[in-house]
Amino acid sequence: MYLEISNPMDYHVALYIRLSKEDETEGPSQSVTNQKSLLNEFVQQHRLSVYDTYVDDGWSGISFDRPDFQRMIEDIEAKKVNMVITKDLSRLGRDYIMTGHYMERYFPEKRVRYISLLDGIDTGVESTANDITPFRAIMNDMYAKDISKKIKSVKRDKQRKGQFIGGKPMYGYKMHPTEKNKIVIDEKVAPVVRRIFAMALDGMSCRKIATTLNEEGVPTPATYCGWNMGRKGPYAGLWSSERISEMLQNETYLGNMVQGRTVKISYKSKKCLKQDRENWVVVENTHEPLIDKETFQKVRMLVNSRKHTRSRTYDFLLKGLIFCHECDYPMAVLNRPPVSGEDRLFFVCRTYQRFTKAGVCSCHSIKEQVVTEAVLAKVREVCEAYLDPNKLQPIAADAVEKARKAENHEAEIQSIQNKIDSLTANLDKMYMDWLTGLLAEADFERIYQRVKMDRTSLEEKLKELESQKESPVSTEDRARELVQQFLDSAYTSRELLVSLIERVELTEDKQIIIKFRFRELEAIS
């Protein structure tokens, strides 16, 4: 080490030490004690003043979200530290992009001098060692990538052998007290798992099972493991139908080890992606089953049979824009048809719907039609401040005049009449097919209603054309009519609503709050 520091009294030094689990295999020279000894020897030799020593023991160099590293950054921001010393560049980090960021940008901008002892790097002086620093960082990154591949390969091999390598076993199991990578039944919560399968076997839905467990105050898997302690929100600490459904279809309860359901994007990211079922690693008969195979198969069939019971979705103008003001979750829509049978949609709070007995949020029930009409009225009010129908009328008049010259009422009337006759013939044929059993009643009803609507629409258009033929409308009146039609249709355009409105919130006392995407519109509303 040939580094020289001419003005040691000007510096407040941070000694940074890092050791990951992978580095422990490299020998004793990489230990925390040896790093600390080496750094202290350097500062004593150069009469430097140490502000603090920062140690991240057991933390990977890929991530810079390390406790003591972040504490050091806070002290740099507070101007308590203006020199950072590490044993070598890999102690600072192994991600060459972030390492370069701190060396080339962050430290210089904060007037912090960085020294790497074994690499001979000192940003306080001009040196050829500094010039090759990016290459050193890349080599450190490649080492981390190689280590990641090896670890991933070892884990995959253990998965194929049926060894458990996760953090926490599936609810109902715990780690074996003496054997590594093996799970055993957790007798404290095993009765809860068996009861969930029994309730499902009795025909209870996943939502009903979740509601029952919430009413009885049974701790959720996350709460039992201690994972819910810091989480906040309307669903925290409550069973959900999704959790129940996942448990009822998990083969772990059959004694099979199921792993590899998610995969990390890369060694530099903590984010995981769900794997398709065919890519899971499933090894049979690795531990004692909680549920017998016959019960598991019956429950799976019951769960799968309900997958299509809620397949119908309802289309309405404000779809995807409605939220609960109190819990901030999207509103659910329910159909409560009257005796006549037509759809009558209501908005209700999804949180209340799922956790009614838990007293989370409230119903917020309100007719979809009421909300839509209120929103359209507000949008009309806002748009009319910007639209002037008088300016649109000359454009419409010109279009009407051109259309009048080119129109051929006789040909269009005949064409529409032919279409009506064709639809009527189709209706007659479908009726005969239904009577003879060739067409199912449900299909007949669905197709009949659609064709009938098409025919009615054509009949109305035919009447309009015939009336225009008998008593032609003036260009001015027709232009005014077209402008009004445009304005009316514009306000009910979903494309326009989505472009203007960010979200619509419904309060507990049925108030409607519209949040526009543009501040100018907020001011008008």
Residue 137 has pLDDT above 60, yes or no: no
Share of the chain above pLDDT 70, in %: 73
Q: Nearest 5 degrees, angle CA 337-CA 343-CA 346?
A: 75
Share of the chain above pLDDT 90, in %: 10
Mean pLDDT of the chain: 77
Amino acid at 85: I
More confident residue, 251 or 490: 251
Residue 84 has pLDDT above 90, yes or no: yes
The per-residue pLDDT for range 497-524, each reduced to its tens digit, is 766 778 889 888 888 888 877 665 555 5
Q: Which range among 23-27, 183-187, 240-244, 320-324 shows the weakest confidence by mean pLDDT?
A: 23-27
Residue 128 has pLDDT above 70, yes or no: no
Q: What is the pTM of this model?
A: 0.44
- Answer for the pair 183, 164: CB distance below 8 angstroms, yes or no: yes
- Answer for the pair 478, 400: CB distance below 8 angstroms, yes or no: yes
pLDDT at 28: 43
Q: Cite the DSSP H helix spans in 78-205.
A: 89-92, 96-101, 107-109, 128-131, 133-160, 190-201
More confident residue, 315 or 445: 445
DSSP strand pairing (83-86 vs 113-116): parallel
- Answer for the pair 249, 166: CB distance below 8 angstroms, yes or no: no
Structure-block tokens of residue 89 = 């560049």
3 state SS for 230-258: CCCCCCCCCCCHHHHHHHHCCHHHHCCEE
CA distance 113 to 128: 16
Structure-block tokens of residue 75 = 């002290």
The per-residue pLDDT for range 376-392, each reduced to its tens digit, is 888 777 766 666 556 55
CA distance 500 to 490: 12
Residue 29 has pLDDT above 50, yes or no: no
pLDDT at 308: 47
Q: Is 436 exposed, middle or buried (0-12, 13-18, 19+ CB in 10 A)?
A: exposed
Residue 69 binned pLDDT confidence (cut-offs 50, 70, 90): very high
pLDDT at 407: 52
Residue 492 has pLDDT above 80, yes or no: no
Q: How many CA atoms lie within 13 A of 129 on its CB side?
A: 17
CA distance 282 to 259: 6
pLDDT at 311: 47
pLDDT at 392: 53
The mean pLDDT value for 429-446 works out to 78
Most confident range, picked from 32-41, 304-313, 334-343: 32-41
Residue 127 has pLDDT above 60, yes or no: yes
The mean pLDDT value for 4-10 works out to 82
Taking Cα atoms as reference points, which of 41, 49, 51, 33 lies closest to residue 1? 41
DSSP strand pairing (512-516 vs 501-506): antiparallel
The per-residue pLDDT for range 197-242, each reduced to its tens digit, is 988 887 778 888 888 888 888 888 888 877 655 556 666 778 888 8
The per-residue pLDDT for range 232-281, each reduced to its tens digit, is 666 677 888 888 888 888 888 988 888 877 777 665 556 677 778 788 88
Residue 406 binned pLDDT confidence (cut-offs 50, 70, 90): very low
